[in-house]
Amino acid sequence: MKFVDEATIRVEAGAGGKGCISFRREKYVPFGGPDGGDGGDGGTIWAVADPNLNTLADFRFNRAFRAERGGDGEGSNCRGGNGADLDVPMPLGTLVYDQGTDELIGELTYIGQRIKLAQGGFHGLGNVRFKSSVNRAPYKATKGSPGEARDLRLELSLMADVGLLGLPNAGKSTLLAAVSAARPKIADYPFTTLYPQPGVVAVGPLRSFVMMDIPGLIEGAATGAGLGIRFLKHIQRTRLLLHLVDILPPDGSDVVGNIQTINAELRQFSEELAGRDQWLVFNKIDQLSPDEARALAEKAVKKLKWKGRWFMISGVSRAGLDELLNEVMDWVQVHAPKAAPQRLGEPDAAAVEADVPAEAVVAARRAKARPKSKVAAKPAQPRKAAKATRSPPAKKSAAGKAAKPVTAGKAKKRAQRVKSASAARPAARRAKPAVKKKR
């Protein structure tokens, strides 16, 4: 399947239903009055983050989305039905822009997240709403407002914890296939990988991270050579870069020169990305003896004056893989983003330590992710407690003025009146003679 990372769509929310003009007509009910019901609200369109989608390919064919309009109001005070909302599933990492204004509407970053794309129209009002003391038979109703309609641009930048970087044939796809269930195409010719591919690397129970394989970079990629550098945007969201290096390039090229080429292209794309944590991973060490491989790697690291971490592995023989993966996992857990919302399926390091069941963590995140309504935003307070804390409302007299504060003497008299009245009531009831039915 072709990897599609940009798409344009049109969304049209449903219009509100019309209000109804109707009057009650019934035998023996003269002047029944108005009974035209309101219309229903139009359906709203939402973008929903779906973990089962990886590309925007579906939007090449299906570009227009329309939500249902609200039903019209009817007589006998019948309200029209609300139009159903429309959920548009999109992959995680989708950025939604307004095509007209270029405004970023939102970004799907965790499973189940919902972004409102177009608001449904408000319902029209039936003629009951317009009745008053002076107009008891209103011939007036309103139409529903139209639903919002807009053109949107979708951009996908896949999210992963770790990004693989390197020249073509460095063994990036082989590594991803060795450590995850992803099955990228592997071959000994350059540019085997044409589209980014994520894979989930499970290191142990509740210890996993996402690794992203991207097409190889070559010298001049920034100016369009090879597949260009546009795929680098897919590792922009990663936190750690693994720079794969063929320790024994078949073309006899210099290992140090190769590393510098990739870093130069990376800098051309983004200084920020180039400054991110990067570990050197010398690959294909199975072709050499361990001592030879170490000597070559150390020589390259010394020449580069490399300050960061470096590893030696073989994607084919799996040498050094366990050590690399454990180190990456530890790094990912230590550097977990604090401010960014976590994805629902992601293991939580703190929860693992505290032995909290995974379902509880997911439920808590889901509750947190749920958009808060205005009502929910109020501090939750039990009803009785709220009543108790509320100050007593100022009583108003018939004239609308606030009542004067009750003095102690008046309060005593009032209490006596209440007491005598309640005592008299049952007695009065008892004293009441039973009414005999007259024949």
Ligand X SMILES: Nc1nc2c(ncn2[C@@H]2O[C@H](COP(=O)(O)OP(=O)(O)OP(=O)(O)O)[C@@H](O)[C@H]2O)c(=O)[nH]1
Residues that bind ligand X (CB under 6 A): 166, 168-174, 186-188, 190-193, 215-216, 283-284, 286-287, 314-316
Burial call 155-167: b when 16+ CB within 10 Å, e when fewer: bbebbbbbbbbbb
238 binds, among ligand X, Mg ion, none (CB under 5 to 8 A by kind): none
Least Cβ distance, residue 192 to Mg ion (angstroms): 5
Least Cβ distance, residue 350 to Mg ion (angstroms): 35
Least Cβ distance, residue 229 to Mg ion (angstroms): 16
166 binds, among Mg ion, ligand X, none (CB under 5 to 8 A by kind): ligand X
Q: Are 40 and 123 in contact (CB under 8 A)?
A: yes
Give the DSSP letter string of 162-214: EEEEESTTSSHHHHHHHHSS------SSS----S-EEEEEEEETTEEEEEEE-
Least Cβ distance, residue 235 to Mg ion (angstroms): 14
Give the DSSP letter string of 304-334: HT--S-EEE--TTT-TTHHHHHHHHHHHHHH
Q: Side-chain half-sphere of 234: how many Cα atoms within 13 Å?
A: 28
The tokens for 426 are 């049952």
Least Cβ distance, residue 235 to ligand X (angstroms): 13
190 binds, among ligand X, Mg ion, none (CB under 5 to 8 A by kind): ligand X
Residue placing its CB nearer to ligand X in the complex, 238 or 314: 314
Beta bridge partners of 23: 34
Residue placing its CB nearer to ligand X in the complex, 21 or 177: 177
316 binds, among Mg ion, ligand X, none (CB under 5 to 8 A by kind): ligand X
Residue placing its CB nearer to ligand X in the complex, 96 or 212: 212
Residue placing its CB nearer to ligand X in the complex, 7 or 186: 186
Tell me, what DSSP letter sits at residue 74?
B
42 binds, among ligand X, Mg ion, none (CB under 5 to 8 A by kind): none
Least Cβ distance, residue 375 to Mg ion (angstroms): 52
* Max intra-chain CA distance, the chain: 125
Contacts of 184 (CB under 8 A, 6+ apart): 173, 176, 177, 193, 197, 199, 213
Least Cβ distance, residue 157 to Mg ion (angstroms): 19
CA 178 to each of CA 77, 184, 213: distance values in angstroms, whole numbers, following the listed order: 66, 10, 12
Q: Are 118 and 149 in contact (CB under 8 A)?
A: yes
Residue placing its CB nearer to ligand X in the complex, 139 or 191: 191
188 binds, among ligand X, Mg ion, none (CB under 5 to 8 A by kind): ligand X
Least Cβ distance, residue 155 to ligand X (angstroms): 23
Which amino acid, residue 325? L
Least Cβ distance, residue 185 to ligand X (angstroms): 7
Angle, vertex CA 157, rays to CA 152 and CA 159, nearest 5: 135
Give the DSSP letter string of 98-151: ETTT--EEEE--STT-EEEEEPPPPPPPPGGGG--SS-SS-----PPPPPPEEE
83 binds, among Mg ion, ligand X, none (CB under 5 to 8 A by kind): none
Residue placing its CB nearer to ligand X in the complex, 165 or 273: 165
d(CA 52, CA 362): 18
155 binds, among Mg ion, ligand X, none (CB under 5 to 8 A by kind): none
Residue placing its CB nearer to ligand X in the complex, 304 or 316: 316
Residue placing its CB nearer to ligand X in the complex, 94 or 173: 173
Straight-line distance from the first to the last Cα atom of the chain, in angstroms, rounded to the nearest whole number: 95
Residue placing its CB nearer to ligand X in the complex, 154 or 218: 218
Tell me, what DSSP letter sits at residue 438?
P
